[in-house]
């Protein structure tokens, strides 16, 4: 599937990603700055935080309590925020638009 990352400088980067990977894995393997995934997807770092466009967010399972708790540790959290290690890629997410949070 195609995933579009909107980078902090406004540039759009489109990558091909495999279903059955998480969005964090797709970001890290394509060198997207600002999505780090320090804990390897164990819900213990929040360095995989990013914003998911509402249209696509509605197609995802709701965040778990653990994810909501860990999001508290991220900066610049909004209603669009998700931890990308908890977002499993699927055909319904083809064309997904992900905004990388400000780097600071
Ligand atoms: Fe650590 Fe997502 S990779 S919480």
Tokens coding 75: 């900066």
**Number of compact structural domains in the chain:** 1
In a domain, 26, yes or no: yes
Domain enclosing residue 61, as ranges: 2-99
φ, ψ dihedrals at 25, nearest 5°: -60, -40
CA of 63 to the centre of ligand 1 (A): 13
Residues 72-75: contacts with CB within 8 Å, 24+ apart?
A: 73/45, 73/46, 74/46, 74/49, 74/101, 75/49, 75/101, 75/102, 75/104
In a domain, 104, yes or no: no
Q: Which CATH number characterizes residue 49's domain?
A: 3.10.20.30
pLDDT tens figures, 13-59: 999 999 999 999 999 999 999 999 999 999 999 999 999 999 999 99
In a domain, 8, yes or no: yes
**Which ipTM value was assigned to this complex?**
0.99
Q: Which ligand 1 atom minimizes the distance to the CA of 67?
A: 4
In a domain, 90, yes or no: yes
This model's pTM is above 0.90:
yes
In a domain, 59, yes or no: yes
Specify the pLDDT at position 71.
97
Pocket of ligand 1 (CB under 6 A): 24, 37-39, 41, 43-48, 70, 83, 85
In a domain, 87, yes or no: yes
């Amino acid at each position: 599937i195609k995933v579009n990352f909107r980078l902090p400088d406004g540039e759009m980067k489109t990558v091909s990603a495999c279903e059955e990977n998480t969005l964090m894995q797709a970001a890290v393997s394509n060198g997207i700055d600002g999505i780090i995934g320090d804990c390897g997807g164990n819900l213990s770092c929040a360095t995989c935080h990013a914003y998911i466009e509402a249209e696509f967010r509605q197609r995802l399972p709701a965040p778990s309590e653990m994810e909501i708790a860990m999001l508290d540790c991220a900066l610049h959290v909004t209603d669009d925020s998700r931890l990308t290690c908890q977002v499993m890629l699927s055909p319904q997410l083809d064309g997904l638009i992900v905004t990388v949070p400000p780097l600071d």
